[in-house]
Structures are given as structure tokens and as C-alpha cells.
Amino acid sequence: MSDKSRFVTLCNAVLEGQATESDVAEFQQVLRDDAESRHAYREQMKIHAYLTWQHGRAAVDESLVISTKPDLPENDWNWNVPAVGLALSILILAIGLTGWWLSSPRGVPLVVISATDMDLAKGSRVFRKQIDIPQGSLKFRLDSGAEVEAIGPVRCELVSDMLLRVTLGSVTVDVGDDAAGFQVETAEAQIIDLGTRFGVSVHDSGETDVVVFEGAVDVHSPPGRSQPSNTIANLKEGEAIRVDKGRGSQRLTSVVVRGDRNEVLAGSKDPVPVIFDITDNGKHKGKHRCYSVRVGGLGPPTRSYVGLGLPKWRPMKGQRFPEAMRGADVVVMYSQDRYHPELEYYVNLSVPSRLFVWHDSRLEPPDWLTQDFQKTNMKLRSGPWAPSNDIISSIEVPEGEDIYVEYEVWQRDVPAGTVTLGGNHNTTNSLRYAMYGIAAKALEE
């Protein structure tokens, strides 16, 4: 907006309830059309998102608000003392007037990244208040920088470019670098992003599932209820919970995901996965760890372990990925499980399947593997690994070359039902070796 003093005047007039209808209309138009104003609005929304929710409202630390400067270009506004009122006004507007400034008939602007609806062209800019997808998918980018992928059937409301309200189905949100503080609300929970990639599913029964793929989120009880809002959980990468108003929250042991590069929560009408659940006998000291089952996702390169971004499942050097394994459902495992030979895993299969386990070729295979599985001629490798990781400390490679771990593949044909797998090794003296991998593929009838 070219007249910054006019913008300050409009903000204060609206805040104090002295704005005329024409003032309100002008202010709404500025927020819709002016990038600087929207940027200032989003910066204050980020501050609000990090505050602790108590007694149904945010406890605002005034010194934090006043001292914080938005990251604007050098030729943008000078946030001096007269502009402090603007910052505070925008913050309060963000709390109390989040919806109305974008409540025009056009709704919230978004840019289509991909869509199964042929009427939504890639790269097109459209306005939406509601997202209602009976089947298929829609991936879009909001002006805040947040990217959302909705998998049908899904129903959600776009309140603003920093707030999404989900009533049914699954969405995956990637906030990138600019949309920290993005919020997702459901009837059972309020999820506040702390700079991350996360998924939210709302079931027909009303239960809310929250899973973190990268970063962290805070999960609170939903705003607007009679009792004070409270923190349900702080979830980090690889953790998930299910929130139910009758039973509270509990660990969600696994989620079914799809996608080529990043995990995306699968829709309920997707084909039934071969591995539909995996649990373990670990206590995990109050953590909410969750396995991701990537449907049909095994192939080069596929993410190997939770929390380790570099290592991917790959074919041996100079070879093709084993065709017998390509397209199997694969579990993203926890690398630190290699420390616990007493762990057991319970893999639940929906159909008769060929179950694959690939094990670090440097390590003697555990008894349960040699007794119940058959060793094949297939091999895989994971990598590249960071040179500082103790798993690859014994591997020597020429300077400047990437480091990989090689695995021998074992297999077993099993009926539908639950299969129990044991720990990574027989002893507690085999810690500097990689955790094994798990995948399953339906047997041909």
C-alpha cells in the first residue's frame, strides 16, 4: 500500500470499532491486494502461533510483539514507534478477525500444484472457501507459502492462508520456510506447526490423527470449548497420536502413506495396503513413535529410516533394482532400533504376501531370520551415509566417494494375518550395524 499512514489509521479504526463500512471494505481490499500488508499480517500470525494457549485465548507477551520486526525488504516500512500500533493491531486482528478479511465471496487465494480435477489447471490461481473432494486429490500453495495436499474423500475449510479447518479426511501440510505457525483445526484438536511437514486425518467417527513427517508440532485441545485450552502433546518427527474426546489421546502406531518423494497420508478410498499396520513391544519412554507404511513405494530411491534424510534404499552399484521387490509396501524403520535386540515387530498383512527382510551383510543374521526365512540372491544398499555416522565407521571407501551399506535379502511367503519379527541381532555387541528393512508384496493368485 502506497499510503502507509492510511493503513495504520484503518487498522486502528477497525480495532477500536470506529471504522465505517467503507473503511472496512477498504481495509479488506488492501489485505487482499497488497503483498506488504499480507506479509506483515503473516509475521504477526507466526508470533501468535508460538504463544501458549491458556484459558481459551493467547497469553500475549507484549515485549515480544513490540520488539519483533518483520523480515521485509530494505525499502519497506520503518517499524518505528508510530508503527508499533500497527504491529499490535495486526496481531489482535489475526486473533479475532482471522476469517473476515478474506471472507469475500471469492474465498482464500491458492495456486494449483496438481489436481485430478481437469478443470483445475496446474499453475492456475483460484479462490476457495471450501475444499470438498469425494475422490482424487488436490495439491495447492497458499500465499503464506504453505503447501497442502488433500486426498479424497476430504472436506475442509480455508479460513485464511495460515489456518485450515478439516472436518473429514486427510491432508498433508508442508510449511516450507515461510509459513511457520500454520494451524490446522479439527473438532478434536488444534495443531500448531513449528516448522515442519505433518499430516492430519479426521475419521467418520470424529477421531483426529496427527503425524509428523519432519520437524515438530504442538497439539492442543480445540479452541472455543468451555474449558481452558490445554496442550495434548508436542510431536516430533516420526511421532503420531490419535485424539478422541471420549478416550483422550493415545499413540498411533502406524500410518499408511503414499507419494513419490515425501510421505502423504493416503485417502480412505485408496487401494487396501498389503501392510495395513505394524506395531512393536517397545515402551519407548512415553514417546509417540509411529511407523510409516509407504504403499507400493519400494523402489529407487526410497527413504530408509525415520529421522535420517540421506540414506535411501537403492540397487547395488551397476545393477537394477530387484524386480521382485519393486512396488512392494515398505516400512520406514527406526535406525536406533539396532540397539535393542529384544524388540519384536508385529506386521499385519491384509492378503497372502511375500514378506521381505533385508539385513546388513556385515552382521550375522539373527536366529529368527535364518529359521523362518529363505536367503535369496538379491541385494540392496542404503546411502549415501554421513561420514560421522557410527554405522559406517568400519567401511573403507576412496576419499571423495559416497558411503553405502549393503544388505542381503531374505524372503518368506505368508498368509494374511500377523507375522512376528525379532530384533536386529542375537547379541548386544553388534551396535555399529544398520537396522534391517521390511517390505511385503501381494502374492499373485
Domains of the chain, earliest start first: 4-102 (no CATH), 108-249 (2.60.120.1440), 271-442 (no CATH)
- At residue 229, the pLDDT reads 62
Residue 205, φ and ψ in degrees, nearest 5 = -75, -10
141 beta partners: 111, 147
State the amino acid at position 118 in one-letter form: M
Cell numbers 497488497: residue? 34
Tell me the pLDDT tens digit for each residue of 216-275. Answer: 999 998 876 545 568 899 999 999 999 987 678 899 999 988 865 566 777 665 678 999
Which string of DSSP letters, residue by residue, matches 39-91?
HHHHHHHHHHHHSPEETTEE---HHHHHH------TTS----HHHHHHHHHHH
- In the 8-state DSSP scheme, what is residue 176? T
- Mean pLDDT over 364-376 rounds to 96
CA 303 to mean position of chain CA atoms: 15
pLDDT band at 40 (very low <50, low <70, confident <90, very high): low
Report the C-alpha gap between 9 and 320 in whole angstroms. Answer: 66
Residue 432, CA distances (Å) to 48, 360, 373, 390 in order: 44, 10, 24, 6
Higher pLDDT, 378 or 196: 378
- At residue 65, the pLDDT reads 29
Give the pairing type, strands 275-280 and 147-160: unpaired
Report the C-alpha gap between 248 and 229 in whole angstroms. Answer: 14
- Mean pLDDT over 363-386 rounds to 96
- At residue 269, the pLDDT reads 59
- Mean pLDDT over 319-326 rounds to 96
Cell numbers 470449548: residue? 225
Residue 43 has pLDDT above 80, yes or no: no
- At residue 429, the pLDDT reads 64
Tell me the pLDDT tens digit for each residue of 383-442. Answer: 999 988 889 988 888 888 999 999 999 999 999 999 999 999 987 666 789 999 999 999
Residue 304 has pLDDT above 50, yes or no: yes
Report the C-alpha gap between 174 and 198 in whole angstroms. Answer: 7
Contact 174, 147 (CB under 8 A): yes
DSSP three-state, residue 426: coil
Tell me the pLDDT tens digit for each residue of 114-138. Answer: 999 888 999 999 999 999 999 888 9
Report the C-alpha gap between 433 and 424 in whole angstroms. Answer: 9
Report the mean per-residue pLDDT for the chain: 81
H helix or E strand, kind and range, residue 247 = none
pLDDT band at 24 (very low <50, low <70, confident <90, very high): low
Q: What are the grid coordinates assigned to 274, written together?
A: 498389503
- At residue 266, the pLDDT reads 72
Residue 352, CA distances (Å) to 212, 370, 419 in order: 31, 21, 11
Q: What are the grid coordinates assigned to 69, written together?
A: 520486526
